[in-house]
Structures are given as structure tokens and as C-alpha cells.
Amino acid sequence: MTAGDDRVLELWLDGRTLDETSEALGKTPTSIAHKLVRLGLCNSREDVNSENLRRGGKLSARLETDGDYTIYLIRSPITNVPIYVGQSQNFDKRRKAHIKRFEPMFGKAPIIEEIGRVGTYRHARDEERRQIAAYEGMGFTLFNVQDREDCQ
């Protein structure tokens, strides 16, 4: 678990609303909700929104919706080795975020390629997990796995 996770946990367990937690941490309600679900405090973003309303909050987390999801692979621009697998409904925005994250590591933008498209959030998450497992099975260490380990 990260320090950010600890702070979200502390604020939420203290009875704060999504609005208050979001403002205190300078994060979006959706990112706070994502952490609350990941940490097991709520089952879904919808549950976060319901609890937030019960607490008197006004902001709400954006819910996952069905639609067009892009599954993508990021490779090192130096070695061409896979470093990350992801899924997003807004591929252009997510691509920019990954460039901002990985470019300082390599001194140039990573290679980001679309590897598939699906129509529902559930299928997107399932395919992302399948791809991560496949690349791990080939011996690659992905940042997805490192990020997940850092949060535990």
C-alpha cells in the first residue's frame, strides 16, 4: 500500500465525503473512487457514489461505461521490450499520460500500439489481464505488475 492509499483510507474511514477527500488530496473523485475499490472498501464506483451521497457529498465518481475500449501495449523505445499493457476508453488521453510517465525514464517517448478493441468494460479488463499474464508468462516484467506490488 502506498502513502497515498493510506491517506485515502484515513479520510474515508474518518467519514469524509468523496468531495472532501478529493479536495484534501488534490485528486479527482474518480481516482479516489478507483482507490477505494482497489483497496476493497467498496465493491464498485457505483457503491462509492452511493456511500458518498449517504454522507452528504455532492461530487461523484465517473462510472465505467460500455462502449469502445482500446487494449494497448507499451514498449521501450530503446529495447522494444514490452513494459506495460493497458486498456482505455480514451486512448488518446491515456497515450499522452503514458508518454509523460515513461519519456523521462527513456529520454524519448515509448512505443505505444493498439493491440485490440472490445465493447465492454468487463471485456476490456479481462483482455488486459489476459495480455498481462501472457507477457509475464513470456518472462517480461511489466510496470503493471511492479505498480501493483508497490500498492500492496
Helices (H), 26-137: 29-38, 45-54, 91-106, 121-137
Q: What is the CATH number of the domain that holds 133?
A: 3.40.1440
How many structural domains does the chain have?
A: 2
Report pLDDT for 149.
38
CA dist 87 to 19, 68, 80, 82, 125, Å?
A: 27, 10, 20, 15, 7
In a domain, 62, yes or no: no
Q: How confident is the model at residue 145 (pLDDT cuts 50, 70, 90)?
A: low
Closest by Cα among 27, 21, 17, 23 to 8: 21
Residue 99 and residue 123 share a domain:
yes
Give me the domain span that covers residue 32.
3-54
Question: What pTM did the predictor assign?
Answer: 0.63
Across residues 2-7, what is the average pLDDT? Answer: 75
In a domain, 116, yes or no: yes
Residue 145 and residue 90 share a domain:
yes
pLDDT exceeds 60 at position 112: yes
Residue 26 and residue 82 share a domain:
no
Residue 119 and residue 81 share a domain:
yes
Residue 16 and residue 44 share a domain:
yes
In a domain, 136, yes or no: yes
Residue 78 and residue 13 share a domain:
no
pLDDT exceeds 90 at position 77: yes
Place of cell 493491440: 115
Residue 140 and residue 79 share a domain:
yes
Residue 92 and residue 27 share a domain:
no
Residue 77 and residue 35 share a domain:
no
